Structure 1
Amino acid sequence: MINLFDSFMLGGSVQLKNRIVMAPMTRTRASEGDVPNDLMATYYAQRASGGLLVTEATDVAPSSNGYALTPGIYTEAQRAGWRKVTEQVHRAAGTIFLQLWHVGRMAHPSLMPDGQAPLGVSDERAEATVFAHGPDGRLGHVPAGAPRALHTHEIAELVTTFAQACAHARDAGFDGVEIHGANEYLFDQFMNSVLNTRTDRYGGGSVANRTRFLMEVVEAAVRELGPGRVGVRLSPFGTFNAMPTDPLAVETLIHVAEQLGRRGVAYLHLVYELMPEGNMETAEFKASHIDHAVLAEVRTKFSGAIIWCGGFNGRDSTQRALDTGLVDLIAFGRPYIANPDLAERLRHGWPLVEADPSVYYTRRGEGGYTDFPVYSTPDDDARAA
């Protein structure tokens, strides 16, 4: 029987000490210039007992920035900041992948170069909010801007941009990268058969066209980093960020799984969390689990590891998911916010702390970020007295 605390060889080249994954979570803590900082290095190092840490979504270019205070990887200052993070994580014997994203239409002109329109699969605007500068110049949740559809030649340029980001990630000391293809950001916008109304080779008329952009980026990433160091995250049934329900979601998922397997992708990270009305700070979170028959088909098509993320908050539910034999690793998001020692708490059955949602995206220094303590037993407290 697979145990949550068994070691795991990821992609044939990355050894994980257990099957616990820290899911990517935007925390809006980057410094001016979207530069990772010492506080972020402390945050990730505190959580290095997990088998794999996946960073918050990171911008590959100025045009990919949809949320203020999120980090980038495209400037030397940003890369230097990330080196601090990877050095501390590795010093704590951790393994860390950098999540790369482009938000597409989920952006606002105040965050775009020269105030330009966001870039999307089409010119259809998302009926959703982003964290950006409002009319008064203050940061807050504002409606996403009206996008401009990417020209065909610009998509090829973005493939090169992602390849460069992979090289930058390697130079910053990361063990690999995760391509963010979930949650209605740019890759997801292309893959959605309702939203993608393009008529070029990336158009929505066929599943091969809808997924072409993702596959081209994956191929470039694998060439840059090697087949065992690239993962992909998908949310095939998600409707977050005003994503229309896709009647071809299963067809697309199965196709993507097969194609990623052929391209040497180390893992497929599947997230099944639906977030209804409200912005990220106020929404109620609800977990939704994929039909096991669909997951079993994904398993037959994809030769790499499968990570399951969505609503896991304890050892029992996690172990039951592993016992299905359909997944290899379990990812935790919000439980990692207030439990930096989550792996140890799960191993020993220690209670978990639940963070107040008000601290998820605060910009208050270490408060609600690095000030959550590790669990202490009564014996620990007695020795400290």
Structure 2
Amino acid sequence: MTDIFSPVKLGDIQLANRIVMAPMTRDRAGPQDEPTAAMVEYYRQRASAGLIVTEGAQPSPAGKGYWRTPGIHNDAQVAGWRQVADAVHGEGGRIVVQLMHVGRASVRANKAADAETIAPSAIPCPDPIPGPDGVPQPTEMPRALETDEIAGVVADYVAAARNAIAAGLDGVELHCASGYLPMQFLSSNSNQRTDRYGGSAENRVRFVVEVLEAMAAAVGAGRVGFRICPGVGFNGMADADPAETYRTLLQAVDGLGLAYVHLIHVPNADFDSLELVRAHWRGSVIENCGLTLDKAQAVLAEGKAEAVSFGYAYIANPDLVERFRAGAPLAHADRETFYTGQGDDHRGYTDYPALTA
């Protein structure tokens, strides 16, 4: 029986155990959207995870949508991520950066003055996005990308992937969920294009396929993963047939030799997304969404996934692996401090004690 504490290799990335820290936006980046000393400590504390997937980092200024999220497209940001990678590796951990281009899911106040809001089609995100003060604001109308511009967006992802490897990170994860740019291309309601990137499922998955192919060619397929959540309605997603869309996507990238697919396993009325993934994907799977230790052990024992990820539990339990091993109770996170850290105020971020403390 596969045990959650046993090692596993996802592509080219060797994990000491099968417990993955899921990506979580925490809004602690510096004035240049660079990782801060607090972020270095935050990830260092959680390095006993088999793999850390960082919070989403924008691959370009246009990719930013939230206040104080980190980027990975300028020198200061790369230098900051190098400190994060060194700290995690110093504790024996492994870490990949999630590349998150939000597309239309942004508000002007959170972006640089000259950063555009772009999307597959000129259809605004219907869900409000928190501004710098944390108050949700209406999103702006995005500009639809011209066909000949899409290669430039793919190139931004490739440059970000190369920056990640240059910073010493172990790989990258393409964020294809939560209603952000890749999912905007995938979903039939947000993608109304009439060129080769719109219409049929084969066309709507093309952007994601091209990004994954290009990043794999640049940094090695075994260091590239991607995250999906078929059927989720977040940020205005309403695909007419998500089972067809994701079946088409999985089949298109199955032969690339990618490190893993990271599945946010939400309920769907018409299909089970984990069964869909297993039917059309031969690579490794990281299962996510509402797992407890017992549920995670069962998923692994039944061969449904090679690893399991935890988000919320990692906020207040930097030593989650050790707590699981000891059968110790988990600490509870303070929701009021999820996104509120300023300057040297690390409350609710790096001040959660380890069990041994």
Cα deviation for residue 120 of structure 1 reads: 1.2
- The structure 1 residue matched to 2:259, chosen from 266, 271, 275, is 266
| Cα distance in 2 for residues equivalent to 1:56 and 1:342 | 18
Equivalent position amino acid for 1:111 in 2: N
Equivalent position amino acid for 1:375 in 2: L
Cα deviation for residue 193 of structure 1 reads: 1.5
Cα deviation for residue 140 of structure 1 reads: 3.3
The RMSD of aligned alpha carbons is 1.7
Equivalent position of 2:158 in the other structure: 163
Equivalent position of 1:141 in the other structure: 136
Equivalent position of 1:251 in the other structure: 244
SS of the equivalent of 2:153 reads: helix
Equivalent position of 2:44 in the other structure: 45
Q: Map of 1:273-292 to 2, 5 A cutoff?
A: 273=266, 288=267
Cα deviation for residue 289 of structure 1 reads: 7.3
Residue 229 in structure 1 maps to residue 223 in structure 2: yes
1:139–1:99 CA distance, 2 compared to 1 (3 A):
same
| Cα distance in 2 for residues equivalent to 1:17 and 1:191 | 34
1:213–1:352 CA distance, 2 compared to 1 (3 A):
same
| Cα distance in 1 for residues equivalent to 2:330 and 2:272 | 32
Judge conservation of contact 2:300–2:306 (CA < 8 Å) in 1: yes
Equivalent position of 2:72 in the other structure: 73
Cα deviation for residue 247 of structure 1 reads: 2.9
Q: Which consecutive residues of structure 2, in runs of 5 or more, have no partner in the other structure?
A: none
Cα deviation for residue 79 of structure 1 reads: 0.5
Equivalent position of 1:215 in the other structure: 209
SS of the equivalent of 1:56 reads: strand
Equivalent position of 2:175 in the other structure: 180
Cα deviation for residue 111 of structure 1 reads: 3.4
Cα deviation for residue 194 of structure 1 reads: 2.1
| Cα distance in 1 for residues equivalent to 2:280 and 2:128 | 36
| Deviation readout 1:229-283 (Å, 9 max, x if unpaired) | 0000001111112222x2310111112122221112110001135xxxxxxxxxx
- The structure 2 residue matched to 1:197, chosen from 184, 192, 197, is 192
Equivalent position amino acid for 1:211 in 2: V
| Deviation readout 1:171-196 (Å, 9 max, x if unpaired) | 11100000000000000000001221
Judge conservation of contact 1:37–1:84 (CA < 8 Å) in 2: no
Q: Which consecutive residues of structure 1, in runs of 5 or more, have no partner in the other structure?
A: 274-287, 381-385
* TM-score, with length taken from structure 1: 0.88
* TM-score, with length taken from structure 2: 0.95
SS of the equivalent of 1:55 reads: strand
Judge conservation of contact 2:243–2:271 (CA < 8 Å) in 1: no
Equivalent position amino acid for 1:189 in 2: Q
Equivalent position amino acid for 1:9 in 2: K
Cα deviation for residue 292 of structure 1 reads: 8.0
Equivalent position amino acid for 1:105 in 2: R
Cα deviation for residue 128 of structure 1 reads: 1.2
SS of the equivalent of 1:114 reads: coil
What fraction of aligned residue pairs are identical, expressed as a percent?
Answer: 43
Equivalent position of 1:9 in the other structure: 9
Equivalent position of 1:327 in the other structure: 305
Equivalent position of 1:351 in the other structure: 329
Equivalent position of 2:288 in the other structure: 309
| Deviation readout 1:352-377 (Å, 9 max, x if unpaired) | 1111211111124210000000113x
SS of the equivalent of 1:144 reads: coil
Equivalent position of 2:354 in the other structure: 374
SS of the equivalent of 2:227 reads: strand
* Further displaced range: 352-361 or 179-188: 352-361
| Cα distance in 2 for residues equivalent to 1:340 and 1:84 | 18
| Cα distance in 1 for residues equivalent to 2:270 and 2:94 | 31
| Cα distance in 1 for residues equivalent to 2:111 and 2:334 | 31
Judge conservation of contact 2:250–2:280 (CA < 8 Å) in 1: yes
Cα deviation for residue 348 of structure 1 reads: 1.5
| Cα distance in 2 for residues equivalent to 1:83 and 1:290 | 43
1:260–1:50 CA distance, 2 compared to 1 (3 A):
same
Judge conservation of contact 2:341–2:349 (CA < 8 Å) in 1: no
Cα deviation for residue 77 of structure 1 reads: 0.5
| Deviation readout 1:138-176 (Å, 9 max, x if unpaired) | 553211111111111121100111111111001111000
| Cα distance in 1 for residues equivalent to 2:268 and 2:13 | 28
| Deviation readout 1:317-351 (Å, 9 max, x if unpaired) | 11122233121111100100000001111122100
| Cα distance in 2 for residues equivalent to 1:337 and 1:346 | 15
SS of the equivalent of 2:84 reads: helix
Cα deviation for residue 298 of structure 1 reads: 2.1
Cα deviation for residue 291 of structure 1 reads: 8.0
Judge conservation of contact 1:345–1:375 (CA < 8 Å) in 2: yes
1:15–1:248 CA distance, 2 compared to 1 (3 A):
same
Equivalent position of 1:285 in the other structure: none
1:33–1:348 CA distance, 2 compared to 1 (3 A):
same
Judge conservation of contact 1:190–1:211 (CA < 8 Å) in 2: yes
Equivalent position of 1:296 in the other structure: 275
